[in-house]
Amino acid sequence: MRLNKFDMNLVVVLDALLTERNITRAGERLFLSQSATSGALARLRDYFDDPLLVQVGRKMVLTPLAESLVQPIRSLLIQAQTTLETRPEMNPADVSRKLTFLMSDHTSTVVMPAVAREISKQAPGIQLEIATPGDDPWSELDQGKVDFLLMPNTFLNDDHPKLQLFIEEFVCICSADNPDVGDSISYEQYAESGHIGVGFGSQLRPGIDAVLAKNAGVERKVAMTVSAYSQLPQYVIGTDRIATVHKRLADFWGEFLPIRVVQPEIDFPKIPWSLQWHQYRDMDPVIRWVRDLMLDITGDEVSRQLAMQNTAD
């Protein structure tokens, strides 16, 4: 098929070349031989009158024109995929599809198990993939590499639709045998204690605990930084250190670990957690079904009322 003299079959090849920036890897991704991929690149270069990919040292880089095509071509493919997958009616039991979520281990521990159980009952053909956010989760959503982000509302952008699921409070945890911590932690004690902090991605991007402390004007003494919330208890137990965590997660740990959940005497704000998906998939019945299911299972009353209000508007 040709559109304005452009062979539309080349759109998929162009997307792979722009993403992989390597002829061999692009061919492997599309199950094409290297010669077929090179031939497609030659036709693309002829159409755009631009080399698109040029060799610099041992790697290939995109030309300025190619860079400008990355997002529009990716958006075009996402929109086409969504259109082709949309059905007038959707029976969850008949769906066969993989859905990828990006979320921290906080939500994968206290939110997703119940969601996964319900999906396995109602839509056993849906395969779930839960991944931890890297350095740039927003680009992964933009490029259609993931279906959902589940993050604090303040970390999400306004380029795509989102749905608030619940509001999270924050507490401190300490070792159950820590003699220095009572029923609460004062501002001074919070500032003077050694903290276990959390960072994400290769650059250990600060977690919500660091953001809360900074916004409260507290300069914490961070004794150690780990890459997941699930690692916090083992580095708190048997020490005089503390950690700032989500109340849902702290209560979950408190059921079976030798820790104490303590309220800090700091006015930490309550943070809304929201689910976000790509704007071109807003009418995708599978996306909408999973979204509504997650609100039914994990949403608090405030978020449900907000969702009803937004629907009415």
Q: For position 233, what pLDDT does the model report? A: 95
* Residue 301 bridge partners (DSSP): none
Residue 93 neighbours by CB under 8 Å, 6+ apart: 122, 123, 124, 125
Measured CA to CA, the distance from residue 220 to residue 223 in angstroms comes to 9
Measured CA to CA, the distance from residue 161 to residue 277 in angstroms comes to 6
Count Cβ atoms below 10 Å from residue 67 Cβ, excluding itself: 12
Phi-psi map region of 127: left, alpha, beta (phi>0 left; psi -120 to 50 alpha): beta
Helix ranges restricted to H, the chain? 10-20, 23-30, 34-48, 64-85, 105-110, 112-122, 137-142, 187-192, 208-215, 232-236, 247-254, 285-298, 301-312
Rg (CA), the chain: 24
Q: For position 312, what pLDDT does the model report? A: 57
* Amino acid (one-letter) located at 92: P
Specify whether the CB–CB gap between 223 and 196 falls below 8 A: yes
* Residue 305 bridge partners (DSSP): none
Calculate the alpha carbon distances from 107 to 28, 101, 290 in Å: 34, 11, 16
Mean pLDDT on 60-68: 85
Sign of CA dihedral 96, 97, 98, 101: negative
Residue 91 pLDDT > 80 = yes
pTM, to two decimals = 0.69
- Residue 114 CA, chain-centre distance (Å), reads 18
Q: For position 128, what pLDDT does the model report? A: 96
pLDDT tens, position by position, 267-277? 899 999 999 99
Residue 289 pLDDT > 80 = yes
Q: Render the burial of 258-288: b for 16+ CB within 10 Å, e for the rest.
A: ebbebebebebeebbbbbbbbbbbeebbbbe
Residue 300 pLDDT > 60 = yes
Specify whether the CB–CB gap between 17 and 52 falls below 8 A: yes
Token pair listed for 138: 């927003």
pLDDT band for position 22 (50/70/90)?
Answer: confident
Q: For position 15, what pLDDT does the model report? A: 83
Residue 79 pLDDT > 80 = no
Residue 298 vs residue 304, higher pLDDT: 298
Residue 262 pLDDT > 90 = yes
Count Cβ atoms below 10 Å from residue 195 Cβ, excluding itself: 24
Q: Render the burial of 144-171: b for 16+ CB within 10 Å, e for the rest.
A: bebbbbbbbbebbeeebbbbbbbbbebb
Residue 33 pLDDT > 70 = yes
Residue 28 pLDDT > 90 = no
Q: For position 1, what pLDDT does the model report? A: 47
Q: For position 44, what pLDDT does the model report? A: 83
pLDDT tens, position by position, 121-175? 999 999 999 998 877 888 888 888 899 999 988 888 888 999 999 999 999 999 9
**Strand pairing class (170-175; 194-200):** unpaired
Residue 87 pLDDT > 70 = no
Most confident of 174-178, 199-203, 278-282: 174-178
